[in-house]
Structure 1
Amino acid sequence: MHEYVSITKAAQIIGVTPKTMRVWDNEGVLKSYKTPKGHRRYSLDEIESLALGRVSNVVNIDNKVYIYSRVSTRKQCESGNLDRQTQRLQKYCLDKDYEVVEIYNEVASGINDKRPKLSKMLSNLEGVSKIIVEYPDRLARFGLNYLILMLKNIGITVEFVEDAESKSINEDMTKDIISIITCFSTKLYGATGGKKVRKTLDELAVLK
C-alpha cells in the first residue's frame, strides 16, 4: 500500500521549501494528490527517489531571487543613487550565492501605492523564493508587515540587507511626510493652500 506525506513533510525529506514543491508540482516534475479538503499529498516512494537524485529535470528555486531597489525622486536617480543601491544588492546576492532572476528598479515615493515595477514584481512571483531589498522602507513605508506576511504565506521571504536607516533614508521619509501633509492640505484648502503649506514645510525641512 502506498504511503503519502504532506507537502511540508515532503519538502523536509528532499531539503527544499514548500514553495519549491509547489513549483515542481505545477511544472509536472512531481504529481500531488488532493485530499477532500484540497490539501496536497505526495507519494513517499517518489519523494524518497527525488531525495536520492533519481528524478531528473528538477530546478531548485531556493537560491533564486528578485532584487527590488527604489529611490523617491528623479533627482536621486540621476545622481546615481538608484544604480549604486542596485549594485550593492547585486554584490550582496553574489556573496550569498543567490541567483538573481530579475531586477526591479523604481523611482517613486515610498507612500505611493501605485508603483508599476512593484506591482509587476508582485504579480510574477513564480520561480523565486526571496525578494532582496536594501532597507525595509525601500519596499514600503506603510503596511510593510502585512505585505511581508502575505508573501510569507505563499512561500516568499523578504530579505533586507540592512535594518538601520541611513541619513538619505531619513531625508526620503521627510519628503514623504511632506507629501502626505500637502495632499491633505490640498483637499482641505484647495490647490493654492496646499502649495503654500508645501512651500512652508520645504523651508522648514531645509532649516532643520
Structure 2
Amino acid sequence: MHEYVSITKAAQIIGVTPKTMRVWDNEGVLKSYKTPKGHRRYSLDEIESLALGRVSNVVNIDNKVYIYSRVSTRKQCESGNLDRQTQRLQKYCLDKDYEVVEIYNEVDSGLNDRRPKLSKMLSNLDSVSKIIVEYPDRLARFGLNYLILMLKNIGITVEFVEDAKSKSINEDMTKDIISIITCFSAKLYGARGRRKVKKTLDELAMPKLIEKAVNVIEGDSKMSTL
C-alpha cells in the first residue's frame, strides 16, 4: 500500500517550500492526491525519488524574487532616486543569491491603492517566493500588515532591506499628508474644492509645518521617557 504525506512533510523531505510544491502540482511535475476536504497529499515513494534527484525538469522557485521600488514624485524619479533605490535592491539580491524574475518600478503615492505596477505584480505571483522592497513604506503607507498577511497565506514572503523607523521627515511624507487632506476635501467639496485646498497648502509651506509638528511630537515623546 502506498504511503502518503502532507504537503508540509513532502516539502521538508525535498528541501523546498510548500509554495514550490503547489507550483509543481499546478504544472503537472509532481501531482498530488486531494483528500475529500481538499488537502494535498503526496506519494512518499515519488517524494523520495525527487529528493534523490530521480525526477527531471523540476524548477525550484524558492530563490526567485520580484523587486518592487517606488518614489512618490516625478521630481524624485528625475533626480535619480528611483534608479538608485532599484540598484541597491539588485545588489542586495545578488549578495543573497536571489534570482530576480522581474523589477517593478513605480512613481506614485504610498497612499494610492490603485497603483498599476503594484497591482500587476500582485496579480502574477506564481513564479516567485519573495518580494524584495527597500523600506516597508515603499510597499504601502497604510494596511501594510494586512498585505503582508495576505501574501504570507499564499506562500509569498516580503523581505525588507532596511527599517523605515530610522528615516527622517522627507518629501514623501509631505506629499502623503497633502494627499490625505486633498482626498477628504474632494469628497466634501468636489474637485474644485480639492484644487483650492492643495493650492492653499502649497502656499502655506506645508513641509515646514509638518516638520514643526513632528519636532513637537518627538519632544513630547522624549519628555515622557524622562
User: Smaller-chain TM-score range?
Assistant: over 0.9
The superposition leaves residues 9-52 of structure 1 with CA deviations (integer Å, 9 ceiling, x where unpaired) of 10011111000000111111101000001110000011011111
Distance 1:192 1:24, change over 3 A: closer
Deviates more, 1:152-161 or 1:172-181: 172-181
Distance 2:168 2:69 in 1: 14
- Kindly report the root-mean-square deviation, in angstroms, between the aligned alpha carbons of the 2 structures: 1.6
Distance 1:202 1:166 in 2: 27
Give the CA deviation at 1:147.
0.6
**TM score, norm. by length of structure 2:** 0.86
Distance 2:70 2:176 in 1: 14
> Retained in 2: the 8 A contact 1:131–1:157?
yes
Query: 1:147 — aligned with what?
Result: 147
Distance 1:52 1:142, change over 3 A: same
Give the CA deviation at 1:192.
4.7
Give the CA deviation at 1:54.
1.2
The superposition leaves residues 120-164 of structure 1 with CA deviations (integer Å, 9 ceiling, x where unpaired) of 111110110000000111111111111111100000000000012
> Retained in 1: the 8 A contact 2:71–2:81?
yes
Query: 1:81 — aligned with what?
Result: 81
Distance 1:14 1:176 in 2: 46
Distance 1:159 1:91 in 2: 14
Give the CA deviation at 1:113.
1.0
Distance 1:204 1:165 in 2: 27
Distance 2:195 2:44 in 1: 66
Count of paired positions: 205
Distance 1:39 1:169, change over 3 A: farther
Distance 1:20 1:169 in 2: 40
> Retained in 1: the 8 A contact 2:66–2:100?
yes
Q: Classify the secondary structure of the residue corresponding to 1:177.
A: helix
Distance 2:121 2:185 in 1: 33
The superposition leaves residues 40-97 of structure 1 with CA deviations (integer Å, 9 ceiling, x where unpaired) of 0000011011111111111111000000011111111111111111000000000000
Distance 2:171 2:26 in 1: 44
Distance 1:121 1:168, change over 3 A: farther
Give the CA deviation at 1:202.
2.9
> Retained in 2: the 8 A contact 1:135–1:165?
no
Q: Classify the secondary structure of the residue corresponding to 1:82.
A: helix
Distance 1:171 1:3 in 2: 59
Show structure 1 runs of 5+ residues with no match. Answer: none
Give the CA deviation at 1:169.
6.6
Show structure 2 runs of 5+ residues with no match. Answer: 206-226
**TM score, norm. by length of structure 1:** 0.93
After TM superposition, the structure 1 = structure 2 runs for residues 1-20 of structure 1, keeping only pairs within 5 Å, are 1-20=1-20
> Retained in 2: the 8 A contact 1:31–1:42?
yes
